[in-house]
């Protein structure tokens, strides 16, 4: 039996709740996330830019994953997800062509530009929805790529949008929109959400949600839950990292419940006092 199967069988888990690969439907909804996703669903009607930002580990990518799943359930909505935001313009066009089913010749940039726009116009005419592009780690994208997206998705002197774009990135992205080269894009953001470190009650709700959805609500003792919340600085990823280490340690000890004693045993960093030498001086 593999370690993963042993863990699931021993604790009665459907999956490891502290790893990133959890079902999209089981992703926890952060404060403000539901309203943001609803605004993006409205934005698909008219197009334009949405922005999701926050410090590392607060759940941006998970929320983007949840948003992609929701948009995919709306009949007529086509959503593409970029895999490499750091691409130069040529590769970026290749990726857009693959996402939206358009054969592009990178050597003919203008031809690629018009072919994509024609495809998007056809989609809008048939469905009334703007195609959607989701860009994770957008803080890594070149300014030229982000500006190309702005120009590519607008027409009639910027009075109409052919595309809905959701940019997701850390706080560096917000800072970049204040610079002159990206200020025109920054002023076009129509809806935005900045994730903040979670308050303790929200972080506790997050932990309870993970355990409930994984099928083991009693996996952690109440005291351990408090410890995890207190030592995670409001960061869900940090909490999951601590809990994952504890779960691995508990499995090795065949300990059925994760508790405070296990926490102090695993994370005790108190320097051990050197044993005193026995004997007397001569």
Final residue before a domain boundary, out of 195, 222, 249: 195
Give the strand pairing for 132-135 and 79-81.
parallel
Residue 27 in domain: no
- The backbone torsions φ and ψ at residue 33, rounded to the nearest 5 degrees and listed phi first, read -70, -40
pTM: 0.89
Residues 174 and 73 in one domain: yes
Per the prediction, the chain carries an average pLDDT of 92
Percentage of the chain exceeding pLDDT 70: 95
Q: How confident is the model at residue 268 (pLDDT cuts 50, 70, 90)?
A: confident
Please check the confidence at residue 247 and state whether its pLDDT lies above 60: yes
- The predicted-structure confidence for 211-235, as pLDDT tens digits, reads as follows 999 999 999 999 999 999 999 999 9
Please check the confidence at residue 70 and state whether its pLDDT lies above 90: yes
Report the C-alpha gap between 96 and 113 in whole angstroms: 10
Residues 202 and 188 in one domain: no
Please check the confidence at residue 281 and state whether its pLDDT lies above 80: no
Site of tokens 């996330």: 33
Final residue before a domain boundary, out of 151, 176, 195: 195
- The predicted-structure confidence for 180-195, as pLDDT tens digits, reads as follows 999 999 999 999 999 9
Final residue before a domain boundary, out of 143, 170, 195: 195
Residues 6+ apart with CB under 8 A from 150: 49, 184, 185, 188
Residue 248 in domain: yes
Residues 38 and 108 in one domain: yes
Please check the confidence at residue 282 and state whether its pLDDT lies above 60: no
Find the CATH number of the domain harbouring 99: 3.40.50.300
Please check the confidence at residue 277 and state whether its pLDDT lies above 70: no
3-state secondary structure of 53: strand
Q: What is the pLDDT of residue 10?
A: 94
Average pLDDT over residues 116-129: 95
- What is the chain's Cα-based Rg? 24
Please check the confidence at residue 98 and state whether its pLDDT lies above 90: yes
Residue 153 in domain: yes
222: domain range?
3-18+198-267
Please check the confidence at residue 254 and state whether its pLDDT lies above 90: yes
Q: How confident is the model at residue 1 (pLDDT cuts 50, 70, 90)?
A: low
Residues 163 and 244 in one domain: no
Please check the confidence at residue 53 and state whether its pLDDT lies above 80: yes
Q: What is the pLDDT of residue 108?
A: 86
- The predicted-structure confidence for 152-188, as pLDDT tens digits, reads as follows 999 998 889 999 999 999 999 999 999 999 999 999 9
Q: What is the pLDDT of residue 32?
A: 95
> How many domains, in total, are found in the chain?
2
Residues 225 and 187 in one domain: no
Residues 6+ apart with CB under 8 A from 177: 183, 185, 186, 189
Partners of 187 in the β-ladder: none
**Which residue in 75, 74, 128, 131 sits closest to 100, CA to CA?**
131
Q: What is the pLDDT of residue 63?
A: 96
**List of E strands, the chain:** 48-54, 79-81, 132-135, 154-155, 160-161, 164-169, 189-195
How many residues in the chain? 282
Residue 26 in domain: no
Residues 244 and 224 in one domain: yes
Residues 79 and 213 in one domain: no
Q: What is the pLDDT of residue 52?
A: 97
Q: What is the pLDDT of residue 106?
A: 74
Angstrom CA distances, 26 to 66, 156, 182, 209, 225, stand at 9, 42, 36, 8, 20
CA 93 to chain centre: 24
Residues 181 and 202 in one domain: no
Find the CATH number of the domain harbouring 259: 1.10.8
Residues 171 and 218 in one domain: no
Residues 183 and 255 in one domain: no
- The predicted-structure confidence for 16-33, as pLDDT tens digits, reads as follows 999 998 999 999 999 999
Residues 210 and 107 in one domain: no
Residues 48 and 125 in one domain: yes
Average pLDDT over residues 24-43: 95
Is residue 207 a contact partner of residue 224, using CB atoms and an 8 Å limit?
no
């Amino acid at each position: 039996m593999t370690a993963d199967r042993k863990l699931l069988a021993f604790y009665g888990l459907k999956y490891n709740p502290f790893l990133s690969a959890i079902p999209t439907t089981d992703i926890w909804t952060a404060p403000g996330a539901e309203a943001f996703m609803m605004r993006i669903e409205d934005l698909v009607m008219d197009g334009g830019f949405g922005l999701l930002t926050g410090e590392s580990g607060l759940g941006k990518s998970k929320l983007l994953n949840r948003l992609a799943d929701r948009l995919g359930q709306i009949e007529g909505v086509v959503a593409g997800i970029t895999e490499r935001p750091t691409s130069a313009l040529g590769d970026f066009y290749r990726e857009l062509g693959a996402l939206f089913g358009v054969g592009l010749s990178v050597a003919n940039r203008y031809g690629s530009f018009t072919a994509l726009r024609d495809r998007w116009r056809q989609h809008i005419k048939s469905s009334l929805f703007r195609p959607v592009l989701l860009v994770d780690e957008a803080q890594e994208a070149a300014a030229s790529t982000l500006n190309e997206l702005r120009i590519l998705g607008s027409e009639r002197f910027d009075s109409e949008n052919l595309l809905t774009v959701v940019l997701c990135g850390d706080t560096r992205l917000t800072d970049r929109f204040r610079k002159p080269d990206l200020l025109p894009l920054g002023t076009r953001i129509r809806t935005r959400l900045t994730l903040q470190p979670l308050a303790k009650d929200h972080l506790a709700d997050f932990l309870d949600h993970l355990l409930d959805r994984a099928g083991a609500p009693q996996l952690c003792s109440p005291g351990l839950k408090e410890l995890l919340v207190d030592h995670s600085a409001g960061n869900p990823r940090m909490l999951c990292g601590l809990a994952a280490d504890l779960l691995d340690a508990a499995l090795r000890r065949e300990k059925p419940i994760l508790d405070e004693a296990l926490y102090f045993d695993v994370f005790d960093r108190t320097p051990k006092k050197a044993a005193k030498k026995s004997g007397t001086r001569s």
